Structure 1
Amino acid sequence: MKENSVSNVNASHRPPETVDGLRELALSIARSESELRLGTKSREVLARLIDLQGDQVLLSISSAARRLGVNPSSISRLARSLGYARFSDLQKVLLSASFTSSASFYRDHAASALTADKRSLHAQAQQLCAENQHNIDRFLQGVKHADIEAFAQAVIDAPRVRLYGVRQFHALCSFSAYGLGMLRPDVALLSDATNGVAEGLASLSEGDVLIAASCQPYTRQVVDVCRMAQTHGIHTLAVTDYASSALVEYSQVSILVPHESSFISNSMVAYFAAMECLINACATLAGDEAGKAISRRDQFISELDIEIR
């Protein structure tokens, strides 16, 4: 598996000693900001290993390889490429994170909605809610103050903000556009019933912000839009799942959100929770200006007598 090879790595390179350091390295590799070079498959394996942090499946290289669908030798080579002498050194870093439950439960029950006992619908609901709570906990474990601040400051400072996502993520972007629109002017979806993606991008200039959202399997058009935005000086903020995500390479800030669950599709609960956190952060940084925007909105709602009281 030659793609795990490392190009022009300084002999003094020291591998990360924490999961946070490992995650930062994975992001740097994805953005070509690191001396380390990994192939697409190796970057994906690294991101998924990080996602397994604290999981008992990491207690052996064989069980980790089975979970990821790769050969144990591939993981060994990846560990050495990252600068670790052996897998056990990488294993110590990944197991240093402690979670109260194991993500393996989710994989084993991926088809539970189709095979569950029809007499146990409440138990099924309990399971899914617990999984969503666990994803939110993992999001909070992974995201840092600097990530939230960078995201919020970019949104507050930008002349214009547009959001783009398709399929399930279109709903997330619509929700987020509404929330951010309460705090500042000129926030909208990149495309709507009137204008397509090309028209939306053409309306943006250098310094404007595009918030793009997608998770595996990534939609090609979302990745293409991110690449085009970066080419034209538009700041891209990605809300995605793994450090190996196709969106990370073209983003200035990446917010990573886990979504493993027994839901019939990619679970969106943690993504909506993450966006609520980010919108609140924008409100905090905007301060009085956000307060004025909300008050002005309330004034029009009152004058139009929109709400039934």
Structure 2
Amino acid sequence: MIDLTRRQALTAAAALATTAVLPRSARASAKPVRLTSVKFGSVSWLIETIRAEGIDKKHGLNLQVIEVANNPAAPIALLSGSADVIVSDWTWALRQRAKGYDLKFAPYSAALGSVMVPKDSTIKSLADLKGKRLGVAGTGIDKSWILLRAYSREKLGKDIANFAEPIFGAAPLVTAEFNGGRLDAVLNFWTYAARLQASGARQLLSMSDVVKGLGVSPTPALVGFIWSDKEVKDNSIPVDVLLSAVVDANAVLAKSNAAWTRLKPLIRPKSDAELAAIRDYYRSGITGPWGSQETAAAKKLTNLLIDLGDAELVGDGTRFDQNLFHT
């Protein structure tokens, strides 16, 4: 499908473990869909709900889970042919389409992270971060950081990268530094922001408000299901069946608190308050079908990132391609 270096292939092989989840009779009767999932990640919650509610049987879905060690391993799995569908950012998929790969994207979640501060912090606004140590989950090209920089220039006339002291690191690391009082604020992914909120931290600014403040509306889901259009068509892989099952599972998770209680072993919350915060964040990100408004918003966001000159995030030569989005 797509050539990889020997090292990439070995990395993919080491990161993946395939698990068939349906009985032999079901496997024989339906074409499998191989979906990547990080253990204990939010996709695993969705998969568990599909199984527990019998949604896979309802749709005749033969779901095979490809467990990957971390999020960066998922694109390797897709590009190496080890998985049919992954969950990742459409900014990455758009970059691959610019390289000639025929990827498609369907929305999974519009939940975004937040800038969090201690409950009793004197920091009340973005401007108050001047001279403060701001933890940033990821690297200097993380999309949330790039957008926050654009927002600060728009609202304050100056780049937060120049008036705050950004400290980059993996989400668990910056969370630990924040909890240890060694950071004044932290920009973190939504799952970590939810856990921090439950432990008493205060939301200073949501990334959803940042996106809206940049004139992008509605806020498009940045994370979704990605697959190769050619591979799916050539091999009759029933991606639409998977997407229908996801809709049904999210309908359960949107309404049933009992379903979230069942997910405790995967979520591993420290308290009921933490479980409730994660549940509410997840529910806020449940999306409807992708339509023309979402495509227009994604185009505006893409052009904004290109205008920022962020070649590493969007990619040199990348231009918006509406054909990426599955409608």
- Give the TM-score taking structure 1 as reference length: 0.29
> Greater relative contact order (Cα 8 A, min sep 6): structure 1 or 2?
2
Higher helix share: 1
Higher strand share: 2
